[in-house]
Amino acid sequence: MKKLFALLLAAMMVLSLAACGSKEESAAEEKPAAEQPAETPAEEPATDSDLAAIQSKGTLVVGITDFAPMDYKDANGNWIGFDADMAKAFAESLGVNVEFVEIDWDNKVLELNSQAIDCVWNGMTLTDEVTSAMECSNAYCNNAQVVIVPADKADQYQTVEACADLAFAVEAGSAGEAEVSALGYSFTPVKAQSDALMEVAAGTSDAAVIDSLMAAAMVGEGTGYADLTYTVGLNSEEYGVGFRKGSDLAAALNDFFATAYTDGSMIACAETYGVQAALIAQ
């Protein structure tokens, strides 16, 4: 009798344990999703590629200003110049077309980040401000900011100190503006470097500060500004091309520059526009 009672007691304990286990499993299944242990989602690899996006849409949009000998229009209204021609060649190497968009130079970073343009390719000085805001190519040309004055007054303005009392015209957001601002000179910002030259030619400004490469092409004997000349160099600098921060197009352009320099096409293009002396080996 005692054995029978012990067997019955053991059977009841087994059934009780089984029921408890079933209730715990059921409770776990019915537990709200918010109370379940959260799984850590796997981090997805970045797939953004400006290069792939450009090749997908079939067009490289280049932000520029009217800036000879880098970007300017020929008699037919087509954009030419050292930068324009190199941009065309780069686009061709990617298998896409090129589109040039004239931008407000002071808003170049906004234009780039809003994706209104794909790059800034316009004799852009590689300042700390530029390199912190853009993914930049390797430097490809040397340059300087120079003072432009009427030729008949040039002998009066052969030093930085002698220029201190002049009223300058400078392109807004340019390296020239940065230089005259740092020197504490009086200046009026204008839309483009070409406008700064017109200010001096018209006598509404005493002087301008523009890029030396532009000065060599635009002022002096045999140019449209034969009565102007350049005197003082304010600095030395380098040009680069700017893309959106993190863009893989910068590396693609560096590869293109290296190839174009090695095969001679970059040098030939520079010679066409008279900037070969400023070209930086790639």
* Distance of alpha carbon 117 from alpha carbon 5, whole angstroms: 90
Write phi, then psi, for 185 (nearest 5 degrees): -75, 155
Rounded Cα distance, 171 and 123, in Å = 13
Q: Kindly report the pTM of this predicted structure.
A: 0.78
pLDDT recorded at residue 192 = 93
What single string gives the DSSP state of each residue in the chain? -HHHHHHHHHHHHHHHHHHHHHHHHHHHHHS-GGGSPPPPPPPPPP---HHHHHHHHTEEEEEE--BTTTBEE-TTS-EESHHHHHHHHHHHHHT-EEEEEE--GGGHHHHHHTTS-SEEEEEEE--HHHHHHSEE----EEE-EEEEEEGGGGGG--STGGGTT-EEEEETTSHHHHHHHHHT-EEEEESSHHHHHHHHHHTSSSEEEEEHHHHHHHBSTTSTBTTEEEEEE---EEEEEEESTT-THHHHHHHHHHHHHHTTHHHHHHHHTT-GGGBPP-
Q: Are 134 and 117 in contact (CB under 8 A)?
A: no
Q: What is the pLDDT along the chain (282 residues), one digit of tens a residue?
A: 433 334 333 444 433 434 444 444 444 444 444 444 444 444 333 348 999 999 999 999 999 999 999 999 999 999 999 999 999 999 999 999 999 999 999 999 999 999 999 999 999 999 999 999 999 999 999 999 999 999 999 999 999 999 999 999 999 999 999 999 999 999 999 999 999 999 999 999 999 999 999 999 999 999 999 999 999 999 999 999 999 999 999 999 999 999 999 999 999 999 999 999 999 999
Cα(37)–Cα(42) distance, integer angstroms: 16
